[in-house]
Amino acid sequence: LIFYRLCLEKILPQCILQSRSLSGADAINALRPFYFAVHPDFFGQHPKEREVNENSLKRLNGYLENLQKPGFRSFKPTHLTFYVRESEPNTSNVQESFSASGFRAVSFTLHTRDLLSTVLDILNSCSLSTEHVQSLNVNSQSRKEAKTVLNRPIKWDKTYYSFTGFKDPEEELEQAQRVETTLISWLDDNEESAVKKLKKSLPLRKELERLKFELSHQLQLSDIRWQRSWGIAHRCSQLHSLGRLVQQRPEVLKNVKGRTLIFTDRSGMSAAGHIMLGTMDVHHHWTKIFERLPNYYKLQKRMLFLEDRISQLLGGIQVIYIEELQPMLTLEEYYDTLDSFYNKLLDSRLPFHPRSLRGLQMILESGRYAPSLHELGHFTIPTACDPATLQWFIIAKAQEARRNLKRKEELMITEKELISTSTEKFSLDRLYKEPSVSSAQMIDCCKRLLEESLPYLQGMHLCISHFYSVLQDGDLCIPWNWRS
């Protein structure tokens, strides 16, 4: 009986697994619809969704790489979340919701042991077609046959496992899914890898700081930033490129004094008034942007005038643009949004008392249809909002908005103090958070960290995020709601 069981549960499944193996190249081809639906490059104007997809893709790629390693046996369920551009109805059993930008948020857990099952799980979880997978050459074995075998596992009565002492695979799977990664266990497993990557990146980190300081001083810039989480080597390359342009065409950069320069996906000026340099653009495109700066500055003055006029029409409420929460808009796009909203307000002539809403803040969004009050105290107003609805909503929520704004100031002070205290206690080289982590979440995370003894963190770069990961340059990412 035991020999028969071994044949069925050990030898046969291995033969089946070999017959349904998928090469790395085939897996990439099969996942093309998925990559097209979630690739961060298609979320350029939606920073939160792009950031989530970037981080999840890094973890997915690591999972796929491990599956292709010879003799890979370790098995750690990996929970992933993606924002999907398609809006097809969901027929899977995965957790799903919609972001404020209208993208479909899909969360699922991978616990497969081969590439084919993983590919099918990903596609099915995102409600994407799997028909094209049938055309792949899976060692001459059709996907339908493999799926039939997969869906008919050998099930033994629980008493059999008690009698023979063999482990119940279903029970093992359930336990693996229930086990939550703890902060200590994850640091134990990943400290060595992080230290090795960090040491390797130190020369480049020094080079990056030197280049940033020299260019900022030479051009008298307020700051140099990056919109996306590129690696240190990538950032150094971008600064070297800018340095060459400074040497070749110093006259075109005479108008950048006091400005913030951001390396991002496209060139121009942002709604916040920062100079954007597209990382895929050549020097010719950058030169054109620098030459157009005087025109951008004129448009920016007109934009500020429009914001002021809107404020006057709405009882003194301040119109602001929040980079961390809003889509990355160009100055032209933002001006058009303001102009459209301003003309709508002029036609409606809402009876707000002058300066009755001073001290309050609002942002404009073109992709929403109902106004809302953010937990940080600002109003989110859709450009298509009905004027009467807008007036009623702002007046009804004004007091709550003032309380939220006051709480925001208190949270920011507390957050800054806790970051400083945590950095000092654990001798961290740097402690920072991703933009999608709120001040309240950061405060909760730091308070609980300060209760722990974590010698692993000495000299490290720690990023508070929504997931566990070791970045390519050695930064440790931990979720803000980590478990002890």
% of the chain at pLDDT higher than 70:
79
Residues 6+ apart with CB under 8 A from 113: 17, 67, 75
pLDDT for 159: 65
pLDDT for 121: 84
Say if residue 1's pLDDT is above 60: no
CA distance 375 to 422: 25
Two tokens at 364? Answer: 């404009």
CA distance 365 to 45: 12
Give me the mean pLDDT over the 122-146 stretch. 63
Neighbours of 285 (CB within 10 A): 14
8 Å CB contact between 198 and 227? no
Give me the mean pLDDT over the 190-198 stretch. 93
Residues 6+ apart with CB under 8 A from 129: 33, 123
Say if residue 31's pLDDT is above 50: yes
Helix or strand (DSSP H, E) at 386: none
pLDDT for 289: 94
Give me the mean pLDDT over the 118-139 stretch. 73
8 Å CB contact between 77 and 177? yes
Helix or strand (DSSP H, E) at 29: helix 24-30
The structure's pTM equals 0.67
pLDDT per residue over 365-419, tens digit each?
876 668 999 999 999 998 888 888 888 999 999 999 999 999 999 999 999 999 9
Biggest alpha carbon–alpha carbon distance for the chain: 88
- Which of 40-44, 112-116, 291-295 has the least mean pLDDT? 40-44
Say if residue 259's pLDDT is above 70: yes
pLDDT per residue over 95-127, tens digit each?
444 455 557 778 888 877 778 888 888 888 887
| Confidence grade of residue 161 (pLDDT, cut at 50, 70, 90) | low
8 Å CB contact between 324 and 433? no
Coil, strand, or helix at residue 269?
Answer: strand
Say if residue 475's pLDDT is above 50: yes
CA atoms within 13 A on the CB side of 38: 29
Say if residue 311's pLDDT is above 90: yes
| Side chain identity, residue 95 | Q
pLDDT for 21: 56
pLDDT for 111: 78
* Cα 185-69-74 angle, rounded to 5 deg: 35
pLDDT for 160: 62
Give me the mean pLDDT over the 48-68 stretch. 80
| Confidence grade of residue 32 (pLDDT, cut at 50, 70, 90) | confident
pLDDT per residue over 415-466, tens digit each?
999 999 999 999 999 999 988 888 999 999 999 999 999 988 999 999 998 8
Q: Cα 319 from chain centroid? A: 26
pLDDT for 118: 85
Instruction: Let me know how long the chain is.
Output: 484
> What is the chain's mean pLDDT, rounded?
81
- Between the CA of residue 241 and those of 41, 205, 257, what are the distances in Å? 22, 17, 19
pLDDT for 167: 62
| Confidence grade of residue 87 (pLDDT, cut at 50, 70, 90) | very low
Q: For 43, which DSSP code?
A: G
- Between the CA of residue 344 and those of 65, 108, 165, 347, 373, what are the distances in Å? 54, 43, 75, 5, 21
8 Å CB contact between 377 and 407? yes
